[in-house]
Structure 1
């Protein structure tokens, strides 16, 4: 997979879009999206598993199968959806989100708007559109379309409620060697920009549950999640695990663009944690 523009610039400018204009996706746009999904290498996650994502075109929120897709009024005038499936387990969900987010960034670079949706859509309507294998479910979807120049008052109010434009500062998210010392941005070495891309990434309700600890030699970055107690409990899965897949995707794509090579490993460093809600996820080792 290759991006036609700077992926770092794309990550910086991406916003969640919930209201789309009347213009359909062009045949060229659909071909680009389809070609991306047909390339097996684009569907391989950081741990080597293959994800499944489908492109579903809609007219007035109705698919070519005649299925009306429900979003509780959150989305207006979508022209398509990306829909995928995963089993309900820690690392498959993280890997699924990594693959899914990479696809949304691919769409963003062509001016196509997206919006991660984990709880504000009717799963049973989307389940009728794609094939689900045993033990699979749909963790999230995103609408696709061209952003309407003037977003709804509802959209602006929602961004205000979830503080979508207010990202936590470095000292609340990133740590230096241990959780006892916040990481200063000017002390992050070559990983400053990849870590900043994690900070700017989208997350459910803008909770930003990722917590990163940078090693003394600045070559290993440990990824943790700080769970919000009972968040998404009613949905039956840990939605915030998707946020960790997003964080890993933002970090790795930024490293790739900057020519910083590394690998993902699951090797818990045994650090003393800030609280009982923090859980180790993965580490990135520079090579």
Structure 2
């Protein structure tokens, strides 16, 4: 998958869009989405699993099958949705979000608006639109459309409610060699921008559950999740695992743009963890 301009700038500028102008997507934009979904390489996650994403166009939030898609009133005038399915397993959910977010960033670059939705949509209505294999469910969806110019009052009010613009500072998220030492920006060297892209990434309720530890030799960055107790338990899956997939996507794409070659591996460094809610997920290693 190729971006036509700086994906770092796309990540810096992306915001959730909840109000759209209702205009149909251009044929070129639809073709870009379909081409992405049909290219198998785009759907392979960092652990080798294959994701599944569907694109659905809607008219007044009704599909061509006549199915009314429920989003609990937060989304206005979408003309399409991206929907995917995954198994309710830790790494399957991480991979799902990683793959899904790559497409989210691609359509953002093209001028479309998106909004990650994990708990504010009616799964039953969406499940009538796409086939589900045994053990699969829909972890999240995003509406699609061109942002409405006068959307700002409504969207700004929602962003205030969910504290979307209140990103945690570095010292609350990133650590130097161990969890006992916060990572200072000036000590991050070439990793500063990829790590900052993690900080700026979207997350459920803006909880920002990712915790990164940059190894002392500066060759490896370890990704941990600090679970928010009981968050999303009523949904039957750990929504914050999706946030980790988003974080991995943001980090890797920034590394690619900056020619910082590396790869993902699951190799727990067995660090003394931050607290009982912290869990190791994956590491990015140079070379």
Structure 2 equivalent of residue 184 of structure 1? 184
* CA offset digits 1:17-42 (Å, max 9, x no partner): 00001311011111111111111111
Q: Is 1:119 aligned to 2:122, yes or no?
A: no
Residue 56 of structure 2 aligns to a residue whose secondary structure is strand
Residue 271 of structure 1 aligns to a residue whose secondary structure is coil
Structure 2 equivalent of residue 89 of structure 1? 89
Residue 221 of structure 1 aligns to a residue whose secondary structure is strand
4+ residue runs over 6 A deviation:
none
Structure 2 equivalent of residue 261 of structure 1? 261
Deviation at 1:153, TM superposition (A): 3.7
User: Could you state the TM-score of these two structures normalised by the residue count of structure 1?
Assistant: 0.99
User: Could you state the TM-score of these two structures normalised by the residue count of structure 2?
Assistant: 0.99
Matches within 5 A, 1:1-287: 1-151=1-151, 153-287=153-287
Unaligned runs of 5+ in 1: none
Deviation at 1:154, TM superposition (A): 3.7
Within 1, Cα distance between the matches of 2:182 and 2:162? 25
Within 2, Cα distance between the matches of 1:90 and 1:49? 12
Superposition RMSD in Å: 0.8
Within 1, Cα distance between the matches of 2:120 and 2:232? 11
Within 2, Cα distance between the matches of 1:64 and 1:174? 46
Deviation at 1:273, TM superposition (A): 1.2
Within 2, Cα distance between the matches of 1:179 and 1:141? 34
Unaligned runs of 5+ in 2: none
Within 1, Cα distance between the matches of 2:88 and 2:57? 26
Deviation at 1:235, TM superposition (A): 0.2
* CA offset digits 1:54-80 (Å, max 9, x no partner): 000000000001100000001000010
Residue 150 of structure 1 aligns to a residue whose secondary structure is helix
Deviation at 1:152, TM superposition (A): 5.6
Residue 256 of structure 1 aligns to a residue whose secondary structure is helix
